[in-house]
Structure 1
Amino acid sequence: MNAKYREFVLFTLLMVIILIVFESFQQYYYILQFNLVPPSSFTFSELIIGQTYRWLMWLAITLAYFGTTIYSGQSDKLFKITRPWPSAFHLMILIGINVLIASILRFFLNDQAISLDNLWDNCVFYFFQKTPIYTLAHGAMLGLFHLVNSNQNLVVEILDLKNQKELTTSETPQALSIKIGTRNKIIPLSDIVWIEAYDYCVKIHTIYQHAYAMRNSLKALEKRLLEHQFLRVHRKAIVNMNKVLEVTYNSSSFLTLEDQTKIDIAQSRIKNIKTFFG
């Protein structure tokens, strides 16, 4: 797990624990206050277990969604406060999925046979019961993620400014210097196959099938390496075009490198690649 998301996950787990305890006490109070079932027919630990199943399910689905969103690079679009509709749309999908799975899970917890009529009744029940607290919980997660993501973007901007300053005071490099512990690893540009965005760092992939992490950004490296046959082909990749074996243009275009690595090409970058190869 990336270090910058570790705190986000820990806060989320703490929030889920609080919600499990809160809803268990709430359910316990309603049962006793309104005599819904005889007190002897259940225990508080059973309520805790039932709420734990539902909230762990909610957490798994939500983290899977967040992880997919982060991995696909859509986090800026989906979690931008000035554009709430994408977040609201995905929130409705998440609530629908959670309500459906909670309804199905209830049959297994109560050892009941599943029927469409009972499933519909359960869905309606959980929709009205869970939608408000699911919305609040998702809102809290969106807020936490926005803070983490904003911090990441700030770090990238600082790195860009630092690298732009270095660029004005140094010549175009023939090699990249990567700090590893107390020493610097010098990698000739001719040994670099491609460069991959990795968190707010980059990974330098070499002809020796080894990758090195470097505190830099693709944006800064793109400017520094442009004169050395390196081309930005995707928001996550810069490629040494001398290492390209084949280019495939279709609905999902990609480059095939000499080591058989396939790199996706962004549609907006296809023209630049065609121009490069003449």
Structure 2
Amino acid sequence: MNAKYRNFVLFTLLMVALLIVFEACQQYYYILQFDLVPLSDFTFTELMIGQAYRWLIWLMITLTYFGTIIYRGQSDELFKITRLSTTAIHFVLLITTNVVITAILRIIINDLPMTIESLWDNCVFYFFQKTPIYTLAHGAMVGMLHLVNSNQNLEIEILDLKNKNESEPTDNPQALSIKIGMRNKIIPLSDIVWIEAYDYCVKIHTVSQHAYAMRNSLKALEKRLLSHQFLRVHRKAIVNMNKVSEVTYNSSSYLTLDNHTKVDIAQSRVKSIKTFFN
């Protein structure tokens, strides 16, 4: 796991632990203040456990959701805070999922009848009880990931400049140099089948079926490889057009490569691909 994401996960775990303690204390205060339940009927530990399972559900759903977005290289869609409408949609989906699952578990744990009315009542209860604090917690996570995202993008820009000035001193590169541990792996351009955006890196797919991660961006590689039969066919893919065996044009256009991999074609790139082959 990337060190920055590891720190983010640790921060999230600490935040969840504090929220569990806070809500347990809050619940304990309300019970005492309004004399809701006799003190002999519960312990503070039981209140902590009751809050813990709800927050553990929240944690698992949220980390899975954010992890999937990061793994698919779509973090810019969520973690750029300027895209408020997109971020709001993610918030609604996350909060709704958490509320529904928490409501279902409460019905099961308390051995209540699983009816539409019971589910609705519990969903409404948890929606009004949990939405404000869930929103704040999600906001804190998005803010942290926004900082990680911005930092990673800055590192990539620096690496792009470094690679341009040092790694490939020639304007006509015949190979890519990829640092693996303490050594550099030299991959001839003729051995590259396609290049895939992979979170904050790129993944180089070769004819030997091996894939190598490289700290660079597709945008930088696109400029360097343009004159070597490489073409940007999607925001997430550059293809060695010499390795293309078939092109399919329809509502979901794609390239079939020599190794039978199918690579999606963005509609905005269809014209440039047709021009290339013509």
Would you say same fold, with TM above 0.5? yes
Native 8 Å contact 1:232 1:239 kept in 2: yes
Q: Structure 2 regions of 5+ residues with no counterpart?
A: none
- Look up the match of 2:77: 77
Q: Deviations over 1:29-88 (max 9, x none)?
A: 222322212222222222222211111111222223323433444432333333322222
Identity %: 76
1:149, distance to aligned residue in structure 2 (A): 0.8
Q: How does 1:51-70 map to 2 (within 5 A)?
A: 51-70=51-70
Task: Please state whether the residue corresponding to 2:37 is helix, strand or coil.
Answer: coil
Native 8 Å contact 2:73 2:197 kept in 1: no
Aligned-residue CA RMSD in angstroms? Answer: 2.1
Q: Deviations over 1:91-140 (max 9, x none)?
A: 22322222222222111221222233332322222122111111111111
| Distance across 2 between alignment mates of 1:220 and 1:261 | 24
- Look up the match of 1:93: 93
Q: Deviations over 1:219-268 (max 9, x none)?
A: 22111111111111122221111111111222222211111111121222
| Distance across 2 between alignment mates of 1:207 and 1:89 | 40
Native 8 Å contact 2:99 2:127 kept in 1: yes
Q: Deviations over 1:147-202 (max 9, x none)?
A: 11111111122122233435995231112222333333222211111112223322
Native 8 Å contact 1:160 1:219 kept in 2: no
Native 8 Å contact 2:72 2:199 kept in 1: no
Native 8 Å contact 1:155 1:200 kept in 2: no
- Look up the match of 1:180: 180
Report the TM-score, using the length of structure 2 for normalisation: 0.91
- Look up the match of 1:204: 204
Native 8 Å contact 1:201 1:213 kept in 2: yes
Moved more, 167-176 or 42-51: 167-176
Native 8 Å contact 1:163 1:220 kept in 2: no
| Distance across 2 between alignment mates of 1:36 and 1:2 | 47
Native 8 Å contact 2:195 2:202 kept in 1: yes
Q: How does 1:183-262 map to 2 (within 5 A)?
A: 183-262=183-262
- Look up the match of 2:264: 264
Native 8 Å contact 1:69 1:75 kept in 2: yes
- Look up the match of 1:153: 153
Moved more, 30-39 or 7-16: 30-39
- What one-letter code is carried by the residue in structure 2 that aligns with 1:33? Q
Moved more, 110-119 or 202-211: 110-119
Matched, 1:49 2:49: yes
Query: Cα 1:277–1:3, aligned 2, differ >3 Å: closer, same or farther?
Result: farther
Native 8 Å contact 2:229 2:241 kept in 1: yes
Matched, 1:163 2:163: yes
- What one-letter code is carried by the residue in structure 1 that aligns with 2:124? V
Matched, 1:18 2:22: no
| Distance across 2 between alignment mates of 1:28 and 1:197 | 50
